[in-house]
C-alpha cells in the first residue's frame, strides 16, 4: 500500500538516494555521478527525481524530525 506521502517528490523517496545522515541528509547517487556535492536534504528534490520502487522511512522520519525542530525553535 502506497501512502500519499510517498507520491510527493522528495530526495528521500527518489530512486537515486542512499542513506547518509539518517534521516536529515541523504546521499544522491545522481549528484555523485555528475560530480556535484552528493549530500542533500532528505526533503529537497530536483528535476531528475525518479520514483523509488522500494518503500523506506527516510521522508517520514525527516518530516517527523523537522516537526520536532519547529516545535523546539518556537521556544527560543
Ligand atoms: Zn530512504
Q: Which three cell numbers stand for residue 3?
A: 501512502
CB 11 within 8 A of CB 44: yes
Give me the residues near ligand 1 (ion), CB cutoff below 5 Å: 56, 58
State the distance from the centre of ligand 1 to the C-alpha of 40, rounded, in angstroms.
12
pLDDT classification of 74: cutoffs 50, 70, 90: low
Ordered alpha helix ranges (H), 3-57: 29-33
Q: Cis omega before residue 23 (within 30°)?
A: yes
Helix (H, G, I), strand (E, B) or coil at 76: coil
Q: How many domains does the chain have?
A: 1
Look up the domain containing 44 and give its range.
4-73
pLDDT at residue 24, as a whole number: 95
Q: Quick one: average pLDDT of 10-33?
A: 96
* pLDDT, averaged across the chain: 88
Q: How far is the CA of 73 from the centre of ligand 1 (A)?
A: 26
CA of 71 from ligand 1 middle (Å) equals 24
Provide the pLDDT for residue 3. Answer: 52
Question: Is a pLDDT exceeding 80 seen at residue 43?
Answer: yes
| Other CB atoms within 10 A of residue 3 CB | 11
Amino acid at each position: 500500500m502506497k501512502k500519499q506521502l510517498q507520491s510527493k517528490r522528495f530526495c528521500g523517496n527518489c530512486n537515486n538516494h542512499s542513506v547518509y545522515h539518517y534521516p536529515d541528509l541523504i546521499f544522491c547517487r545522481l549528484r555523485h555521478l555528475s560530480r556535484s556535492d552528493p549530500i542533500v536534504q532528505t526533503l529537497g528534490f530536483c528535476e531528475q527525481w525518479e520514483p523509488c520502487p522500494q518503500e523506506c522511512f527516510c521522508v517520514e522520519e525527516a518530516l517527523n524530525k523537522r516537526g520536532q525542530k519547529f516545535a523546539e525553535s518556537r521556544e527560543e
